[in-house]
Amino acid sequence: MLLLIFEAGDGRYAMAAELVVEIIPRVRAKKIPGTPSYVVGLMNYHGKAVPVIDLCMFRGDALCEERLSTRIIMIKYEKDEGDHTLVGLLAEKVTETVQVDKKDFHAGGVLIGVGLDGNGTGEDSSEMMQWFDVKRFLPESVMKDLLRV
């Protein structure tokens, strides 16, 4: 399984690459009045208005830092069974992918010791990543409100 590795605040995450539509540079988004602080706004993506969420701010940290590696991860978000919409996730250090086996994840969805070259796991490594499950990380109630905008 191919994973996209990124950071949000002090957390390091791994997301299934199959969810990713495109990774794009940070662009200016139109702020939406009355939305929570973690909503960056709406961006124009190929003529379509797409909401963008700052994952650092959503976690309760500060805004994602302005870095060359700060990107918007455009994902397919499943609204209903078989019905998808696009959502942009602003994250930091979006620069790596790794090939792993799903069985390498330990309890709680933690991947320990996977080298960035994808050569297996090792309990002695300090590299830890948490599995990023969009539905768990971004509660359905939050997404329903956001997707109504």
CATH number, domain with residue 59: 2.40.50.180
Query: Is residue 124 scored above 50 in pLDDT?
Result: no
Q: Are strands 2-8 and 83-99 parallel, antiparallel or unpaired?
A: antiparallel
CA of residue 118 relative to chain centroid, distance: 20
The angle at the Cα of 110, spanning 142 to 4, to the nearest 5 degrees, equals 70
Percent residues over pLDDT 90 in the chain: 36
Q: Please report the pLDDT score of residue 147 as a whole number.
A: 72
Per-residue pLDDT tens for 56-105?
A: 998 877 888 888 899 999 998 887 777 788 999 999 999 889 888 777 76
Query: Is residue 18 scored above 80 in pLDDT?
Result: yes
Q: Are strands 11-16 and 128-131 parallel, antiparallel or unpaired?
A: parallel
Query: Is residue 108 scored above 70 in pLDDT?
Result: no
Count of the separate structural domains present in the chain: 1
pLDDT level of residue 51 (50, 70, 90 thresholds): very high
Range of the domain at 70: 2-148
Please indicate whether residue 13 or residue 126 has the higher confidence score (pLDDT): 13
Give dist(CA 52, CA 102) in Å, integer: 28
Give dist(CA 86, CA 74) in Å, integer: 7
Alpha-carbon distances, residue 78 vs 19, 56, 82, 114, 135 (angstroms)? 10, 22, 7, 29, 9
